[in-house]
Structure 1
Amino acid sequence: MSELAAPRKPQAGRDLPVAFAVGLGLVLLVVASLFIRKEAFAVLAVVAVGAALWELAQAFTRRSIHLPLLPLLVGSVGILVSAYTAGPEALFVAFLLTVGGAVVWRVLDGSGLPALRDATAAVFAAAYIPFLAGFAMLMLAAPDGPVRVLLFILLAVASDTGGYAVGTLLGRHPMAPSVSPKKSWEGFAGSLVLACVVGVVGVQWWLHGRPLVGAFLGIAVVTTATLGDLAESMLKRDLELKDMGRLLPGHGGILDRLDSMLISAPAVYLILAVLQPVAS
């Protein structure tokens, strides 16, 4: 039997009791913010995006890249608030203004190759974190926004949980061994099964939609979440980091929890907008 096909021993990469307690606390906080007053979730999203940008800025300094953090933080607030209050067009306009402001800020602070490198990194940071997070704000703005956002989050959690559980117990065939050795095709299958179940149940119970829409959502979220995980793994490998931060005990940093959700947000928003539009 080849080395790739050999059974893997379960690897406890994190403190499971602490990770479970922190994860449960985050879920309760998110649910409370969504259903007590959904503007509270928007505030929570602004805080999370700001923390993720700060983590990314700290990580980039390992490669002598210095993000213009102040304009990015101010622009992030504008992006999220604009998406929530004024829709997709405002999201794109606010993103462009944020990118322009960050680039000008960095160029005025110095010229040459370092400024060009930092400005390019600022464009990446703005697109990767607040712009993608803005699609969650677009979902939140709908009359049934809290339900849509909750379904989106539960789909991402199901993908992560299903992949971790099945991958740890049965994972034998690494998906991308040079990027993320612990991620396996068996775990990917576990993610698909659990996410599709959550999608079908959630769409039927909460949105009164067709099971096929829920299954489609599950497949889309697992695909995008896996790509997001692998992309961040590549970034961390290049930066020689295990985690992007330490703000969440048992989980790493805020960005380590948001990586899959950020990439999935546009997919969930578009699928729901087309296949499960808000009832008029």
Structure 2
Amino acid sequence: MGQAQQAPGPGVRGRGKRGNPTPKAGRNLPAAIVVGLGMLLAVLAGLLLLPLGFVLIVTAFAVFGVWEIFRALEAAGTRLPIVPVLTGTVAMPVAAYFGGLESLLFAMLASSVAVLLWRSLEGAAGSARGIFAGVFTMAWVPFLISFAVLPLHTTAGLAPVGLWPGGVVPPGAWQVALLLLLVVSNDTFGYLVGAFLGKHPMAPKISPKKTWEGFAGSIGGAMVIGVLGSILLLGRPWWLGAVLAVGMVAAATAGDLAESMVKRELGIKDMSSILPGHGGVMDRLDSIVFASPVAFILFAAAGA
């Protein structure tokens, strides 16, 4: 998620001014902690108790993220066809849950065709740019985040609209839970280590505050969570958790840098200010949209 592994600006190692909850490392920590924990608990509750609720939460996050991108692009002079884009955004997680990978791919293809036709009917001026922006936005947010729903597909028939039968959570749900915990650990440990020890920027032209020290903190923290989660949640060997940790941190960091490049190109700091202490929804989704397909591939390769 968006601001993990960030090093402090000048003087960050000292305490902030009295009465100012925002440290110089860049976040309003009390607000960030409350909002972050609230979102995590809501998502995990839906995932482990009411699976369709989890799908709806994922869909809602995707819709908000797409809307933020739409507003940012519009301010920069690019108008994407929002109606077919939002329709595809809603369709993809639902298709992944009830139909699996094939349905997700079909939903992405059909949504792309709908964007093409819709924008073509609006006129030629700026159509190529609008079509590209629409397809890119759908591929970036709803398509990638729907991979977090795919592990639940094989058990969707067990609880199409209600609780897991007998209160037994299937392995696919635990896989998604571990994915979420690893992304959160990447953000948390990277931020803490980077804020106090960060000195060497990873990509100064893209994200000046992201450091190699923070990245190392993310790897170390995620390793602990991954190994424990693999053993306790999945009942799998410890090394699977270690592999997942490295994969999730690499993917989450790539997602963070990718969003930073987009924001830098658009000349904005945050996608919005809807989440106190965090910025916009996309500033929270940037890591998980890249991590979700990587986790899906790693679990499939490991036969989990």
TM-score bin, normalised by smaller chain: over 0.9
Q: Which residue among 210, 213, 230 is the counterpart of 1:186? A: 213
For 1:115, the equivalent position in structure 2 comes to: 127
Deviation per CA, 1:1-59, whole angstroms, max 9, x where unpaired?
Answer: xxxxx996423311100111111111111121112211100011111100000000000
Paired residues of 2:145 and 2:289 also in contact (CA < 8 A): yes
For 2:28, the equivalent position in structure 1 comes to: 15
For 2:147, the equivalent position in structure 1 comes to: 135
The amino acid across from 1:200 in the alignment is V
Separation of aligned partners in 2, 1:247 and 1:100: 31
Offset at 1:146? 2.1
For 1:225, the equivalent position in structure 2 comes to: 252
Offset at 1:70? 1.1
Deviation per CA, 1:215-268, whole angstroms, max 9, x where unpaired?
Answer: 000000111111111111111111111100111111001110000000010010
Separation of aligned partners in 2, 1:140 and 1:254: 23
From the superposition, tell whether residues 191 and 201 of structure 1 become closer, same or farther in structure 2 (CA, over 3 Å). same
Judging by fraction of residues, say which structure has more helix. 1
Separation of aligned partners in 2, 1:268 and 1:200: 15
Q: Are positions 1:170 and 2:197 aligned together?
A: yes
Offset at 1:62? 2.3
For 2:50, the equivalent position in structure 1 comes to: 37
Point out which structure has higher relative CO (alpha carbons under 8 A, 6+ apart): 2
- RMSD over aligned Cα atoms: 1.4
Paired residues of 1:8 and 1:172 also in contact (CA < 8 A): no
Paired residues of 1:50 and 1:76 also in contact (CA < 8 A): yes
Offset at 1:273? 1.5
Paired residues of 1:84 and 1:138 also in contact (CA < 8 A): yes
Q: Structure 2 length as normaliser, TM-score?
A: 0.86
For 2:241, the equivalent position in structure 1 comes to: 214
For 1:248, the equivalent position in structure 2 comes to: 275
Q: Structure 1 length as normaliser, TM-score?
A: 0.94
Separation of aligned partners in 2, 1:128 and 1:256: 13
The amino acid across from 2:124 in the alignment is S
Q: Aligned to 1:92, what secondary structure does the other structure show? A: helix
For 1:52, the equivalent position in structure 2 comes to: 65
Q: Are positions 1:74 and 2:112 aligned together?
A: no
Q: Which residue among 107, 118, 137 is the counterpart of 1:125? A: 137
Separation of aligned partners in 1, 2:229 and 2:27: 29
Separation of aligned partners in 2, 1:185 and 1:250: 23
Paired residues of 2:59 and 2:90 also in contact (CA < 8 A): yes
Q: Are positions 1:62 and 2:89 aligned together?
A: no
Paired residues of 1:217 and 1:271 also in contact (CA < 8 A): yes
For 1:160, the equivalent position in structure 2 comes to: 187
Separation of aligned partners in 2, 1:170 and 1:94: 45
Separation of aligned partners in 2, 1:131 and 1:146: 19
- Specify every segment of 5 or more residues in structure 1 that has no aligned partner in the other structure, as ranges: 1-5
Q: Are positions 1:95 and 2:122 aligned together?
A: no
Q: Which residue among 236, 254, 257 is the counterpart of 2:263? A: 236
For 1:28, the equivalent position in structure 2 comes to: 41
Offset at 1:97? 0.5
Count of matched residue pairs? 271
Deviation per CA, 1:183-228, whole angstroms, max 9, x where unpaired?
Answer: 0000000000011111111011111111111000000011111111
Separation of aligned partners in 1, 2:99 and 2:114: 21
Deviation per CA, 1:162-194, whole angstroms, max 9, x where unpaired?
Answer: 110100000010001111111000000000001
Separation of aligned partners in 1, 2:152 and 2:208: 35
Separation of aligned partners in 1, 2:293 and 2:59: 17
